[in-house]
Structures are given as structure tokens and as C-alpha cells.
Amino acid sequence: MSDCLFCKILDGEIPADVIYENDTVLAFRDINPQAPTHVLIIPRQHVGTINDIEAEHEMMVGRLFSAAKAIAAEEGLSEKGYRVVMNCGEGAGQSVFHIHLHLLGGRGFDWPPG
Ligand code: DGP
């Protein structure tokens, strides 16, 4: 998608602090971190929102979570805990319409979330 910010990061058109990648996903630090660790995990394939996920994407979605597990371990978060969030739609706070997991850690988190 030529007008998608995260596709531009995938293409190297916009720089990012990439910390993890494989053939399916890319992960980089959020430009506006909400916790000491705040990493965005995105698929290389453009899918706009959770509402656009189809059966063919199920393996890819699973690999987003496998990446979250690996990055949490690298960041030393596995034991203390961390939060993984995917916003869907403007009403839930989604601002970039290319699905992404937020991996947040290094502080406590309230429940229910704001
Ligand atoms: P969401 O609001 O759930 O769609 O999350 C989008 C996140 O993307 C938000 O936390 C800020 C982050 N973000 C926006 N623009 C950039 C950028 O150019 N670089 C990086 N690294 N993160 C960005």
C-alpha cells in the first residue's frame, strides 16, 4: 500500500529502530513510547484492521504473537509480565491502518485499560 506508513517502514522509505525481523514480521520501537519497552510488531503483508483478517492470515497472526514472545524474552520481560495490545478501528485508538501488536513492558499496567 503506497500510502501506508508501516508499508513505508517495511520498504525502508521511513527509518525505524528495528529490533526483530523474519520473513513474516518486522518489529521496531514505537516513536511515542507509552512504557519503558514499547515495540510495534507488524506483518510484512498489508492488512488494515482485525476486521480484514481472513483464514489465509491465521498463520501470520500467530507469528506476530511468536515474535512478541521472543522480543519479550530479549527485553527481559518474560517473568515480570508484559502487555500485548492490538487496537481495531478509530474508536479503539487505532491510528495506523496496518495491523500491529503493541508490546508494552517495564512498568505496571492497570485493568481495565483506559
Ligand atoms: P495505533 O494507535 O494502535 O494505530 O498505534 C500506532 C502507533 O504507531 C502509535 O503508538 C505511534 C506509532 N507510530 C506512528 N508513526 C510512527 C513512526 O513513524 N515510527 C514509529 N516507530 N512509530 C510510529
Query: Domain span at residue 67?
Result: 5-105
Contact 41, 31 (CB under 8 A): no
- 89 inside domain: yes
Q: What is the CATH classification number for the domain harbouring 74?
A: 3.30.428.10
46 is catalytic: no
Tell whether the model's pLDDT for residue 29 goes beyond 90: yes
* Ligand 1 contact, 16 CB (< 6 A): yes
Residue 112 falls inside a structural domain: no
Q: How confident is the model at residue 48 (pLDDT cuts 50, 70, 90)?
A: very high
State the pLDDT at residue 58.
98
114 located within any domain? no
Q: Establish whether residue 6 lines the binding site of ligand 1, counting it when its CB lies within 6 angstroms of any ligand atom.
A: no
In whole angstroms, give the CA distance from residue 67 to residue 111. 24
- Residue 1 clears pLDDT 90, i.e. is over it: no
Q: Does some domain include residue 11?
A: yes
Contacts of residue 59, defined as CB under 8 A and 6 or more positions apart, other chains included, come to 24
Give the mean model confidence (pLDDT) for residues 43-52.
98
Please determine, for residue 51, whether its predicted confidence score (pLDDT) is greater than 80.
Answer: yes
Could you tell me which of 17, 21, 9 has the C-alpha nearest to residue 46? 9
Burial of 79 (0-12, 13-18, 19+ CB in 10 A): exposed
Mean pLDDT of 87-103: 98
Confidence band, pLDDT 50/70/90 cuts, at residue 112: very high
Looking at the CA of residue 32, tell me the nearest atom of ligand 1: 11
Q: Answer positive or negative: Cα dihedral of 39, 10, 31, 51.
A: negative
Looking at the 3D structure of the chain, how many domains does it have? 1
Out of 46, 57, 98, 100, pick the active-site residue.
Answer: 100
Give domain status of residue 113, yes or no. Answer: no
What percentage of the chain reaches a pLDDT higher than 90?
97
Read off the pLDDT band of 2 (50, 70, 90): confident
Which residue has the least CA distance to atom 17 on ligand 1? 31
